[in-house]
A and B are shown apart, each in its own frame.
Chain A
Amino acid sequence: MRRSQMPSTHTLAVLVENKAGVLARVAGLFARRGFNIESLAVAPTDERFSRITIVVDAQSAPIDQIKKQLDKLINVVDIVELSTESAALREMVLVRMKVDPGKVPEIEELVEGFSGTIINATEDHLMLSLSSHPEDLDDLLSQLRPFGIEELQRTGAIAIPRIE
């Protein structure tokens, strides 16, 4: 149903040494080489290493060049390019909505259809979260938008390779 067209983004799982300034090195490299970051998520995997998931704009530079330049950073240990087929890709979003009270059941149904969760609600406010494939988030958000989104925060995608 989706993800069939040529990818406009590439997803890189980058293992880095967990050292001071490593995120600045990665972000600085993208900035000075003119590579565009679509989203970026980072957290430690253990005491020594962190994993960064970077979604890059495929139009800004050849992915091969982006990977090679990243690999030159001393603290970058490993880079894996992940495709939709080969990787489990997840992203989370928190959404706060101001809605017409009469529309609440419709919205609840929509959120449930995506396996999202209503976190709390008042008569005319809703807070919900969804953790799913980033394109599911895109779909849900586009359907929620007409009901009145006040604020939202996406985490950026995280990904690791699927079990073969």
Chain B
Amino acid sequence: MQMDGGQALLKALEFEGVEMVFGYPGGAILPVYDSVLESGIRHVLVRHEQGAGHMASGYAHATGKPGVVMVTSGPAATNIVTPLADAYLDSVPIVAITGQVPYGLIGTDAFQETDTTGITMAVTKHNYLVSDPNDIPHIVHEAFHIATHGRPGPVLIDLPKNITDAANPDSLMTWKDPGPLDLPGFQPVLDADPADVTAAVKLWTEASRPVIYAGGGILKARGAAELTALAERTNTPVVTTLMARGAMPDSHELNLGMPGMHGNYTAVMAMQEADLLIALGSRFDDRVTGRLDSFAPDAKVIHVDIDPAELGKIRMPDVAIRGDAKRVMAAMLAEFGSATLADHGGWRSTLSGWQENYPLAYESAEPGGKLKPQMVLERLRDASPKDTIVASGVGQHQMWASQYWQFDHAYTWLNSGGLGTMGYSIPAAIGAKAGMPDRTVWAIDGDGCFQMTCQELITAAVEKIPIKVALLNNSYLGMVRQWQEMFYENRYSEVDLGGPVPDYIKLSEAMGCVAIRVEDPDEVEAAIERANAINDRPVVVEFVTEPEENVYPMVPGGKSNSEVVVPPFQQKERNQ
């Protein structure tokens, strides 16, 4: 079938089963957008290309399907570099389509020309510059395959305008369904070497203080059920990293919660005192390990990852297993058979002692004082459906959300873990809601993050994607302020956001949202109930919170996890 490259691109996306694209048109991608009119694919028109990238990411994480972002050349392409880097570090499958100046003009500093494949090489799993429209079907097919297989990640396709523009003879192509994949350098290994599984199980049966260190790879492998089964079979406590919240229900007695810099005391110390760490789809990130040379000093390590480069990158494992987390966990379960494990009784009572003495806790507000952000999140959690999808930005509110939400469902927590991208939550929430329209989706945001990407609330209103935003407004860049308080002798430098400007109510209403401001603790629940009842437009609930609240526990940067700092009111007990 004869067609032009622009039509071929849409047909190729349809061939891959794409239902939704987040994007923004412009000069070099114009011909492709002409074909959007004839396509059955829904296009969500964003207000800034960065938003489109994070929407694709939120969509991918919530639905398990690859997200697609489409923008023009030059500044549009550079505007998606941040979400590509974000998706690369958090292993999110995204396919990005960018327009490019006509092939003959590449290298001439043409209008809106950037070296997009060059710029994005370091933040994509792979990228393509297409020169022949006949290559479009198989390149798009390869791109989706690479993005979603092995360790997932973003893939970019740069399309010069001459091969998509019907008015240009260069664009004429004959559609052929993509044939078998020909990728000799991309052959992900999914199944573990059985000998490695046997060695791992042997080590596990001998351990007396084991901990499963569950990472985001479990969710990427859709292996949440296997994680709980494996933990139960081995009676092994689990820590769920920031990227793995929800991989095991927080209500499960074996789940100790989040480890790391702002993890809870028991999760941090369990890793620290363990004699065996079973790392499943986790990568020994510095925010988890703290100072590396004193991290988990007595622990042997079983490390399972689909990306062999993670095995031994940071911590040398005793047993390294290359494979897909879901399949490896299933193989481990089978290998355990009727094996008996060492007694963990002493270990479990140590852990419950810590849980009792150092629970996640905060001091309630003084009468007449401002709202405590932790209290707001507890109320929001309790008043929202159990399978609510929560997206957060980056900073104090992100840590409180991870700490105080109860994740009992997988794929309900979206956040920017690796890159730490402020402004992630609103667009990510929109992407998730677009893909899962029947679910309640809350963006939990700080006022700093909100001001970076709130224009996407216009997208949410116009495109009828009714997300809800809990804006924790402390009028500070809270996490930076906390570090300046703790490590820079209270010298606050450029962290005061200058409240009461903007007026978030007027701003949100102007963008087509229902807006509610809450200052009184007695109004928190009613506001949440009202927000949860609105389903025809986005809602912003601004909670005016205690400005100098700190996130605890905290492992100070560069310190050992053994030096975890608990909140001041728990410190006295700890020193006794």
Contacts A28-B122, A65-B313 given; indicate if A73 touches B129 (C-beta within 8 A): no
- Bound together, the chains give a CA A16 to CA B126 distance in angstroms of 14
Find chain B residues with CB under 8 A from A87 CB: none
Inter-chain contact B185/A68, CB cutoff 8 Å: no
Find chain B residues with CB under 8 A from A90 CB: none
Inter-chain contact A77/B122, CB cutoff 8 Å: no
Q: A32 at interface (Cβ–Cβ under 8 A)?
A: yes
Inter-chain contact A71/B118, CB cutoff 8 Å: no
Q: Which of B304-312, B375-383, B443-451, B506-514 is the contact stretch?
A: B304-312
B365 to chain A, nearest CB (A): 47
Inter-chain contact A65/B309, CB cutoff 8 Å: yes
Find chain B residues with CB under 8 A from A24 CB: 118, 121
Q: B77 at interface (Cβ–Cβ under 8 A)?
A: no
A151 to chain B, nearest CB (A): 31
Inter-chain contact A74/B309, CB cutoff 8 Å: no
Inter-chain contact A72/B309, CB cutoff 8 Å: yes
Find chain A residues with CB under 8 A from B118 CB: 21, 24
- Bound together, the chains give a CA A68 to CA B309 distance in angstroms of 5
- Bound together, the chains give a CA A120 to CA B146 distance in angstroms of 53
Inter-chain contact A28/B121, CB cutoff 8 Å: yes
Contacts A24-B121, A25-B121, A28-B121 given; indicate if A74 touches B126 (C-beta within 8 A): yes
Inter-chain contact B117/A17, CB cutoff 8 Å: no
Q: A20 at interface (Cβ–Cβ under 8 A)?
A: yes
Interface of chain A residues 47 through 94 with chain B (CB within 8 A): 62, 64-65, 68-69, 71-77
Chain B window 305-340, contacts with chain A (Cβ cutoff 8 Å), 1 for yes, 0 for no: 001110111000000000000000000000000000
B95 to chain A, nearest CB (A): 14
Most chain A CB atoms below 10 A, which of B129, B309, B313? B309
- Bound together, the chains give a CA A118 to CA B122 distance in angstroms of 45
Find chain A residues with CB under 8 A from B468 CB: none
B122 to chain A, nearest CB (A): 5
Chain B window 103-145, contacts with chain A (Cβ cutoff 8 Å), 1 for yes, 0 for no: 0000000000000011001100110010000000000000000
Chain B window 279-315, contacts with chain A (Cβ cutoff 8 Å), 1 for yes, 0 for no: 0000000000000000000000000000111011100
* 8 Å CB contact of A21 from B117, B185, B307: B117
- Bound together, the chains give a CA A7 to CA B184 distance in angstroms of 31
Q: B186 at interface (Cβ–Cβ under 8 A)?
A: yes
Contacts A21-B117, A24-B118, A65-B313 given; indicate if A75 touches B129 (C-beta within 8 A): no
- Bound together, the chains give a CA A32 to CA B122 distance in angstroms of 8
Inter-chain contact A17/B185, CB cutoff 8 Å: yes
* 8 Å CB contact of A65 from B126, B184, B312: B312
* 8 Å CB contact of A68 from B117, B122, B186, B308: B308
A24 to chain B, nearest CB (A): 7
Interface size class of A (residues with CB under 8 A): 20 to 34
A17 to chain B, nearest CB (A): 6
Contacts A28-B121, A28-B122, A65-B309 given; indicate if A20 touches B129 (C-beta within 8 A): yes
Inter-chain contact A74/B125, CB cutoff 8 Å: yes
Contacts A21-B117, A21-B129, A25-B121 given; indicate if A75 touches B309 (C-beta within 8 A): no
Q: B183 at interface (Cβ–Cβ under 8 A)?
A: yes
B542 to chain A, nearest CB (A): 41
Find chain B residues with CB under 8 A from A69 CB: 309
- Bound together, the chains give a CA A73 to CA B125 distance in angstroms of 8
Contacts A65-B309, A65-B312, A69-B309 given; indicate if A74 touches B122 (C-beta within 8 A): no
Most chain B CB atoms below 10 A, which of A24, A68, A74, A76? A74
- Bound together, the chains give a CA A67 to CA B559 distance in angstroms of 31
B150 to chain A, nearest CB (A): 9
Contacts A24-B121, A25-B121 given; indicate if A77 touches B184 (C-beta within 8 A): yes
- Bound together, the chains give a CA A77 to CA B186 distance in angstroms of 8
- Bound together, the chains give a CA A93 to CA B505 distance in angstroms of 72
Inter-chain contact B121/A74, CB cutoff 8 Å: no
Find chain A residues with CB under 8 A from B125 CB: 74
- Bound together, the chains give a CA A76 to CA B126 distance in angstroms of 12
- Bound together, the chains give a CA A76 to CA B309 distance in angstroms of 14
B54 to chain A, nearest CB (A): 23
Most chain A CB atoms below 10 A, which of B125, B185, B311? B185
- Bound together, the chains give a CA A64 to CA B126 distance in angstroms of 22
Interface of chain A residues 2 through 53 with chain B (CB within 8 A): 16-17, 20-21, 24-25, 28, 32
* 8 Å CB contact of B183 from A28, A64, A65, A74: A74
- Bound together, the chains give a CA A21 to CA B118 distance in angstroms of 9
* 8 Å CB contact of B185 from A28, A32, A64, A73: A73
Nearest B residue to A75 via CB reads B185
Find chain B residues with CB under 8 A from A77 CB: 184-185
A141 to chain B, nearest CB (A): 36
Additional 17 contacts, C-beta under 8 A, given A74-B183, A76-B185 = A16-B185, A17-B184, A17-B185, A21-B121, A25-B121, A62-B312, A65-B309, A65-B312, A65-B313, A68-B308, A68-B309, A68-B313, A71-B308, A72-B309, A73-B185, A74-B126, A77-B185
Closest 8 CB pairs of A and B: A68-B309, A77-B185, A74-B126, A77-B184, A74-B186, A76-B185, A68-B308, A69-B309
User: What would 25 A/B residue contacts be, using CB atoms closer than 8 Å?
Assistant: A16-B185, A21-B117, A21-B118, A21-B121, A21-B129, A24-B118, A24-B121, A28-B121, A62-B312, A64-B312, A65-B313, A68-B311, A69-B309, A71-B185, A71-B308, A71-B309, A72-B307, A72-B309, A73-B185, A74-B125, A74-B183, A74-B185, A74-B186, A76-B185, A77-B184
Chain A contacts to B: CB under 8 angstroms: 16-17, 20-21, 24-25, 28, 32, 62, 64-65, 68-69, 71-77
